[in-house]
Amino acid sequence: MTQKMYVYEGGEIDLSLVTRLYPAALISAGGESAQVSLEWAEMKKEQVTLETYVLICDFDPVGEVPVNRVEIRFDTKEELFSAMNDIASLVRS
């Protein structure tokens, strides 16, 4: 298998080692921060404060508690989706 590297500001990720990859929104509510689905953040946008968008890359085997993780942060949903498209293109090539 050829190595497919995704380069982002702050580092690079070998996509062949990623076991889970998913988008999330980092929100704050009641003095606490949490990662939630994009859909949930959109549904609750009146009750929570959106801090940033995150693309989460886990490297631990599926079924195990993720310890080895990279979180790439984006200011806008468009930047997040653009990164996801870039990764999809790399994986397909």
pLDDT band at 37 (very low <50, low <70, confident <90, very high): very high
For residue 10, tell me if it sits in a domain: yes
pLDDT at 31 over 90: no
Domain with 12, as residue range(s), is: 5-87
Let me know if residue 63 belongs to a domain.
yes
Residue 57 lies in a domain: yes
CA 81/CA 1 separation, integer angstroms = 26
The pLDDT score that the predictor gives to residue 56 is 95
The pLDDT assigned to 1 comes to 54
Task: Tell me whether residue 93 is in a domain.
Answer: no
Give the Cα separation of 58 and 71 in Å (integer): 9
Answer yes or no: is 92 within a domain. no
The count of structural domains within the chain is 1
Question: The whole model's pTM is what?
Answer: 0.85
How far is CA 45 from its chain centroid? 19
